[in-house]
Structure 1
């Protein structure tokens, strides 16, 4: 499988993002890319397929990744 080309992707970040703590998300051909905003598009991109992303979002909505849960 070829690596998706994120060079022209529309990157989005949460309206809840603040200075120095933001990530951006883009969708290209069935792959979700996640990158650190402060890298100005030059850093690495983590890639997930739709099934992995859906599982992550479900866990996030359910509180599985809240800071207090992760600290345990």
Structure 2
């Protein structure tokens, strides 16, 4: 029997609460190879059950956490170009700002 929308929402909330309850003070943070220590970069840490934590090197106290399914969906979407930034116009503004 398939889950109802309410059951799915309740399950997702439980998963999120459990994920944010994890003590991640001892995790090892990883960043893209070749980045310098002082550069702004995205860092990730692998958590139990395939979950992932993500933070900015400039704001290490703000940590986002994703379940394995959420992270997989994000990575696959990024590979498919779903999150590619819109091209910028020659003056540095976005096409919408320049009226294009």
If the length of structure 2 is used for normalisation, what is the TM-score? 0.58
Q: 2:43 aligns with which of 6, 11, 24?
A: 24
Question: RMSD of the alignment, in Å?
Answer: 2.2
CA displacement at 1:33 relative to structure 2: 0.3
Give the number of equivalent residue pairs. Answer: 68
Deviation beyond 4 Å, 4+ runs, structure 1? none
**Greater helix fraction, Structure 1 or Structure 2:** 2
**Greater strand fraction, Structure 1 or Structure 2:** 1
**1:24/1:37 contact within 8 Å kept:** yes
Bigger relative CO (Cα 8 Å, ≥ 6 apart): 1
Q: 2:63 aligns with which of 29, 45, 51?
A: 45
Q: Unpaired segments of 5 or more residues in structure 1? A: none
CA displacement at 1:15 relative to structure 2: 2.1
Larger radius of gyration: 2
